[in-house]
Structures are given as C-alpha cells and as structure tokens.
Structure 1
Amino acid sequence: MDTAQDTQNLNQSQAQPPSCGDSRHLIEVRDSPGKGLGIFAKANIPRGTRILAESSLIKFNENEQPTAKTIMQAFESLSPSQQESYLELHNYACDLDKQILESQTGQTWDELPEMHQRVLGIYTANSFGSIHLLASRFNHSCLPNTTHLYNPTLDKETFHTIQDISAGEELLISYMDGSNWVKSKRQEYLQKWGFECNCPACEDTPEGRAKEEKRLVISLLSGDLEDLLNLDTEEPPEESLKLTQRLAAMQKSAGLVGRELCFSYYYAAKLCTRLGDTRMALLWAEKGLEVNRYCVGEDHPE
C-alpha cells in the first residue's frame, strides 16, 4: 500500500468537489496505528454529512455472482493506471475464500499465478459488492461512526457520518450487517478479513464489557421479537411494540445509531398503526425518517 499514491488519488478526487456531490475535501488518507491506512477527518464534520459518493472501479450486476474468472476479466479490462491503483489496495483472502476460488479455478491457491492470487485477494478483501478505490481505505468498528449504502439514483456507494466527527478522528464503518450480534459471533465473522477487532465494543476493559452487556440484551430482544414474528398466528402487536421500543432504546444507548435504529423506529410506527394509535405512529415514523436521512441522504429512493 502506497500512502503517497493514496494521497494523490484523494487530492485528484477533491479537484472537482461540486461534481462529486460529497464532502471528501474534509477527509484525508493516512496511517492508522495497527490498521495500515485509514480515513481521517481534517475538520469537524457534523452528523449526516455525505462524506463520500464514489463510483465503482469494478462492479458486477446485482444478480451476478463474481467468480475467479470474471474478477480477473474485470481487472484486465481496466486501464493500466486503474490496474496500478487497484494493486495498491489491501490483499487478503481467508481460507474459505481460497477454497471457493480453488473450486472455481480447479487449482490450489498455491498453484495460481502470483498475479491471480493478488488480484483475487484484493477483491475478496475490499469488495462492497463492488470495488471503490477511496472507500477501500475505511477501517472497521463494531461501533461505526459512518455508514454506507449503494445509491441507485447516483449509481454510487455513499458514505454518511452518523455521529458528529471531531478533527483528527478516524471515520469507521462496519464490515458486517450484524449490528445486533454478540462479540463472539462478530469476531468469528471478521475472520474473513484476518483480524481481531479491538474497537471500544470489543476491548477487554470495564467499558468494553459494559458495551458487550448491552449488545447481549439487544441480541436477546431481537431474538424475542423474531420469535413473535415467526408465530403461526399473527403476532400480538402490543407485545411486539414493547419489545421494539426496548430494542430501539438499547440500540441508542449502545451507540448503534445507524439504519438498525431507523428500522426499529419504523417497525414501532407500523405497530402503532395496527393498534390504531395514529399520533404515536407518526412520531415513530418521524424519528425513523430523521435517522434514515442522516444515514443515506435526501436523494436515496428508500
């Protein structure tokens, strides 16, 4: 990984901020202790800022499952300068990814040409379903301060701050959808990237253990709510509403203030509607809309 090249790429991308439709001029790529490169705030950034809207370098159709062959073909279709930028990204393939790629190529990992190993390893380590050069520099946290989602209107992956960010602070996303998962399950999933998370939610400190206790309650509440939804008969809305309200309160208390909180608010609104409580339904819906706006922006179709 080349810090100078990353800085050059970022500077070039900042040259035309109006066309980018984001605030990338407020961030910089630099060393993150123990993590390689990361993305940091150059100034204070308020919650809800679209920090990045980035087109993909390599992208597959939504219903297309990438294979070793199609990944290599996509790489070979890039220009020489694009290939150079791609090859500077982090390279890592976990054992499971290697097994899948081996089954597709009919060769063991060690039998693959070195360039194939490198291209495929970079894809498995950096894909959001597609490859983005600058976005690949976001590091992970189980308590992210930034969220991302593909915006079909823009045909770009967008990244929004979900908390106020201080100058010098690293912007962090979650590499997984399992925000309600307990630590053991999160760590197991993160083996795909070959690291053990030591974020504030995972560190073995009194504060970290307190955060994990909240995550355990969230996991249990989610399970209870799912059990109600899986009943053969229609779930009792009163009980579901109580669970959903507790879930939303615990998510907010635990710092999980992204789209998982939005979905809890929206579901509470739906349950209030079923109970005939229009006033509370509107209040919950407004809370959900507020969270959704700072997570995805005003122009997302969802």
Structure 2
Amino acid sequence: MPIAVKVFNQSDVAFKSFDVECEVLKNLRHRNLTKVITGCFVDNFKALVLEYMPNGSLDQWLHSQSNFLDIVQRINIMIDVAYALEYLHHGYTTPVVHCDLKPANVLLDEEMVAHVSDFSVTKLLTEEESFTQTETLATLGYMAPEYGLTGMVSTQCDIYSFGIVLMETFSRKRPTDEVFGEDMSLRSWIRDSLPHHVLQVVDPNLLGEEDRDFTVKLQCVSSILELALNCAMESPEKRLNMTEIVAKLNGIKHQFLRGGSVTSTLGNVFLETILSENLHYVVSKL
C-alpha cells in the first residue's frame, strides 16, 4: 500500500513534537483526521508512517495554476475540516486544540475527502482547563491574536484559524499575501467588501457574472464569508463554536443546492449530502 512518511529533525524540539503527535494520534479516531499506521523510533531517528493522501493538500489546490475546486468541492472540504475540529473540541474525553490549522495541513484523499494533519504543536486541555499557555507559536497569518500576543491557547484559537482558512478557500488569497500589511489584512479586506462588493474578494475563477445561477452562487459565497468573519472575531468570546459552525456550513450548502441547478460536477451531490450527514454524525461519535 502507498504510505507517507513524516521524518522528524534530529533536535530536542522536533523530538518533543514527535512525542506530542504520538500522544494525540494514538487515541484519536475520526474519518477526517490523518490516520497513523505506525511509528519508527530508533536512537536519534524518529518518524511516523501515515496514510497516503494522493490529492495533496488544500494549499496546493487553491494556489495551483492547473487545478480547480468548484464551490461544492470547497464547501465539502471545509465541512470535513469542521467535523474534524468538532471531534477534537467536543467528541473526545479531553478537548484537543490543533493550534496550527492552515491549508497546507488539510490533506485530500482519492475521493477529495479532507483530513486534518500535523499535530506536532497540538495541545490537550485537562478537564479543569478551558485554556493553557505555551511558548510554541503556530503559523503567522492563521494564528489567533491572543495566541500570538500572550501564548494563550484554547479551542477558540482553532476557530479563528478556521475562519481565516475559510476566507482563503473562497478568496484564493493567503493571509500573508504581499497586498496585506499593517493597514489591511485578509480579514479586514473581506469585512469591508461585504455585503455589496463580494465580487472584489471572491476567487475570480469561482464566480463570474455570466455564470449560470450567478445569484445563488453569490448568495452562497456571501454567507460563507460572513460565517468566516464570525469565526475570526478579535475577541475569543465572540467566536462561534465548532458545533455551531458545522450546522451553519451544512445549512449554507443545503440552501445552495436547493436554489441552484444541480448539474455536471454538482450531479447527485444533494442526494450524497443527505446520505452522508448521518454517516458524518456517527463517525464523529466513534
């Protein structure tokens, strides 16, 4: 069988990351998390043997000149990511904070099902904790403000990162793009464009005025970007939780499929959605 091997650098920091990832992944089981087959650790060599994801990462698909994801594919991928985070935050005995959610850590299998990967900086919260403090920082651009400023980590940090990834998925702009700086961020750029100038921020390959079902697509993307902004609020207390986000994303998707013309790449998606929702729910509880 094809496999992927993650080899850790020979340093104390890297080996600590290996220990953290093993601790997390040995107990977690979910359809939308990367599956670990086994580990390899001899003397100063440590590696994880992982399930191979033939379609690469979400980052590769978003920023490739040769690949393209349509609206439904992008929604499905982000719903998969939301289910994974919901399981980490609410479906396991100890809340798990991924801490480094970004498109490069969202891997796609042969059926374009998304799997959240890379748990090397993940934090486990005890039953008494709703947050913890760390000196390990995540990727700039996706990191919640309180995480970057004080090192405070909670499940709300993942919510913020999810909101940024959601914006990037539908705008095709990285938060670290050169157009952003002190005066404008990805979040403020999208915030200032809603609700009347959505076309200025949406991936131009995704939505054009000549498109069939243009109005339905526009409404769908507007709702998604509004949800993304609610996830990426500056204050952690004002952000949604993952259970609410899963429900809202599924609602947006169902509304889109009811209002649009389900043809070509959208064929049978509505039926698949109805059949898969119960499966997602059952898997998330396993």
* TM-score in terms of structure 2 length: 0.32
* TM-score in terms of structure 1 length: 0.30
